[in-house]
Structure 1
Amino acid sequence: MSDDSLITARDLSVGFKIGSGFFGKSILKAVDHVDIDIAKGSFFGLVGESGSGKTTLGRALLKAVPITGGTAHYRDGEVDYDLTTLSGPALKDYRKRAQLIFQDPYAALSPRMTVRDIIAEPLEVMGLTKTREETDARVREIAAKCRLNLEHLRRFPHAFSGGQRQRISIARALVSGPQFIVADESVAALDVSIQADVLNLLKQIQRDLGITFLFISHDLSVVAHTCDHVAVMYLGRLVESAPTRTLFAAPRHPYTKALFSAIPSLDPDDRGRAQKLEGEIPSPTNQPSGCKFHTRCPFAIDRCRAEEPLLEHPGDGHEVACHRWRELLAETAA
């Protein structure tokens, strides 16, 4: 664990009981023994295919879903919260410090409330302001940071474009003064030009307020230009993690390489270089033995099918969980 970590998780697991058949309920392992450190003030990226457990991990770190195994801590210099046991007044305080930006801004905003009331609601629910004047002042302050003017505050969500709605969602997340924000596919529903505007806003907020972001996305191009550090998730496990430049320059896990090879390129000479992944991600309720990726990995050997790889730390902040990564790296360099 690093001293500058805001969020630290060790062996973190989240499971859900499903079904009610003759043999009883089965366990869906959405997050499976994850170790993660998110540095204070960083823009931490989390990528992977749909169904890999990214959203569940983010919500577990927000204490929005039950943690069923391992440990997770939030430390901001003022408080030290164990997220596995957090409850009561401490949980209420944590809600002020940790917030979520949803993927679909329209579905996340009440159509019956004005923008002013939407942004003000967390202040009123959490009791952070005592008078309406104090609430209005805080709302105007945060609205200005999110490029919303006074006229916007009087309107309803249906009067705005997708990018404007997302700025409203960001303002609502910021108004309680959080230190940690999970942005779950927060630009996925927006046009490309609007994505850039919202991403620039999030980066500006990070620089101005020192907020720590966990940025969940499937768009690797966005992650490459936004995040300081990136972790790759597959079937509930972290398979690789490294500083962004290091990871994109020299990915070591076969799954990471396959994801990166699928990034569209404008260079016509790059055509045909994509590494095709055969099959689909296995069901979390019936996970393969050994390495979770071996059913789709072209480099899998018997050891991969029998023994699950541990997350190794070869240096430079790089972590990788693969039995053959050194061997494959040597073959690539030869």
Structure 2
Amino acid sequence: MSETPLITTRGLSVGFNIGGSIFGKRILKAVDKVNLDIPLGSFYGIVGESGSGKTTLGRALLKAVPITGGEARYDDGEVSYDLTTLDGSELKDYRKRAQLIFQDPYAALSPRMTVRDIIAEPLEVMGLTKGREETDKRVREIAAKCRLNLEHLRRFPHAFSGGQRQRISIARALVSGPKFIVADESVAALDVSIQADVLNLLKELQSDLGITFMFISHDLSVVAHTCDHVAVMYLGRLVETAPTRAIFEAPRHPYTKALFSAIPSLDPDERGGAQKLEGEIPSPTNQPSGCKFHTRCPHVVDHCRKVEPTLENAGSEHEVACHRWKELLAAMPA
């Protein structure tokens, strides 16, 4: 894995105008001032509760939703694009380099198309091959990498299980030769036994093809197994980022600690230790002042309600946005 960032954002924001009144517009802040560096060749995890902005962040980096503030850049060593202004021929080229694997393998595939046609569609739409023979060759190559055989290419999606359908979706995402893939809850709809098979396939593809994955998930055990680095989102903001081992062994932010404490354990002595968070995540249209987490944090003080924390260094490649993280760390039992 290279330390060179493939994706770099500074103050990245995505807002949606959801109407208004005589008092002005109502803006939903889905992503709010996110600073992110995704290393080339990494498997980068984004975690958080539903409504935290994970999916919107991924779609913004794919130029599937408009970026309304800040900076975002893609640089794979061959080309460099400013994602905030990308359009025209550059956007068409970027579509080849950045792809999405959808969450639901049942809804993502057209029931009227054969597997061959589903995988070949990006090649034909983008004009990446010169004829049917070249297209079929590319389809067969990608199908083999995704553990699909020639017989599968003649069938329709209804003939396949959920795991097989997801492999078809992965093949479709890979066929254009992308450098960057956003996997949005790509194993959440699968049985646990099938999840491991798909995750291992993604890791193999990352290693063989040098792809950079942004892996969005709410399943922390899956993230621990798969990702090199983890970023935790809450209400559109990043509250903590670190290498996977570091953040699972020593989370610094109270929100991260609460999330990780809910991971089921096979050790009966460790069960029942989950930290309960009171209340629901606030509305993105009516965000609290100061620290966004202060309405649910068990360690809140008056300063937290007034001043919004920024990410600060908490160790090697470890960053946390919490006013009291040093104080809370010092208070932990040795």
Q: Describe the SS at the equivalent of 1:143.
A: helix
Between the aligned partners of 1:147 and 1:56, the Cα distance in structure 2 is: 30
How far residue 23 of structure 1 moved from its aligned partner, in angstroms, is: 2.6
Q: How does 1:89-128 map to 2 (within 5 A)?
A: 89-128=89-128
Between the aligned partners of 2:269 and 2:19, the Cα distance in structure 1 is: 50
Q: Describe the SS at the equivalent of 2:158.
A: helix
The residue number in structure 2 matching 1:295 is: 295
How far residue 3 of structure 1 moved from its aligned partner, in angstroms, is: 6.2
2:47 is equivalent to residue 41 of structure 1: no
Q: Describe the SS at the equivalent of 2:25.
A: strand
Output the amino acid matched with 2:308.
Answer: E
Moved more, 233-242 or 19-28: 19-28
How far residue 21 of structure 1 moved from its aligned partner, in angstroms, is: 2.9
Q: Describe the SS at the equivalent of 1:106.
A: coil
2:264 and 2:271 in contact (8 A); partners too: no
Between the aligned partners of 1:146 and 1:213, the Cα distance in structure 2 is: 16
The residue number in structure 2 matching 1:326 is: 326
CA offsets per residue over residues 112-134 of structure 1, 9 Å max, x none?
A: 00000000000000000001000
The residue number in structure 1 matching 2:60 is: 60
Over 3 Å off, 4+ runs: none
Q: How many residues align?
A: 333
The residue number in structure 2 matching 1:167 is: 167
Q: Describe the SS at the equivalent of 2:121.
A: helix
The residue number in structure 1 matching 2:219 is: 219
Q: Describe the SS at the equivalent of 1:315.
A: coil
Output the amino acid matched with 2:218.
Answer: H
Moved more, 268-277 or 231-240: 268-277
Q: Describe the SS at the equivalent of 1:30.
A: strand
TM-score by length of 1: 0.98
The residue number in structure 2 matching 1:200 is: 200
Q: Describe the SS at the equivalent of 1:105.
A: coil
Between the aligned partners of 1:325 and 1:221, the Cα distance in structure 2 is: 24
Between the aligned partners of 2:58 and 2:331, the Cα distance in structure 1 is: 36
Q: Describe the SS at the equivalent of 1:52.
A: coil
Q: Describe the SS at the equivalent of 1:78.
A: coil
Between the aligned partners of 2:41 and 2:271, the Cα distance in structure 1 is: 38
Between the aligned partners of 2:174 and 2:227, the Cα distance in structure 1 is: 19
The residue number in structure 1 matching 2:147 is: 147
The residue number in structure 2 matching 1:87 is: 87
Between the aligned partners of 1:179 and 1:207, the Cα distance in structure 2 is: 12
Moved more, 74-83 or 308-317: 308-317
CA offsets per residue over residues 308-330 of structure 1, 9 Å max, x none?
A: 00110133100000000000000
Between the aligned partners of 2:272 and 2:193, the Cα distance in structure 1 is: 28
Point out where structure 2 has 5 or more consecutive residues left out of the alignment.
none
The residue number in structure 2 matching 1:283 is: 283
2:134 is equivalent to residue 134 of structure 1: yes
CA offsets per residue over residues 131-189 of structure 1, 9 Å max, x none?
A: 10000000000000000001100001111000000000000000000000000000000
Output the amino acid matched with 2:168.
Answer: I
2:11 is equivalent to residue 11 of structure 1: yes
CA offsets per residue over residues 265-322 of structure 1, 9 Å max, x none?
A: 1111112211000000000000000000000000000000000001101331000000
Output the amino acid matched with 1:300.
Answer: V
Point out where structure 1 has 5 or more consecutive residues left out of the alignment.
none
Q: How does 1:296-315 map to 2 (within 5 A)?
A: 296-315=296-315
Identity of aligned residues (%): 84
Between the aligned partners of 1:148 and 1:181, the Cα distance in structure 2 is: 20
Name the Cα RMSD after superposition.
Answer: 0.9
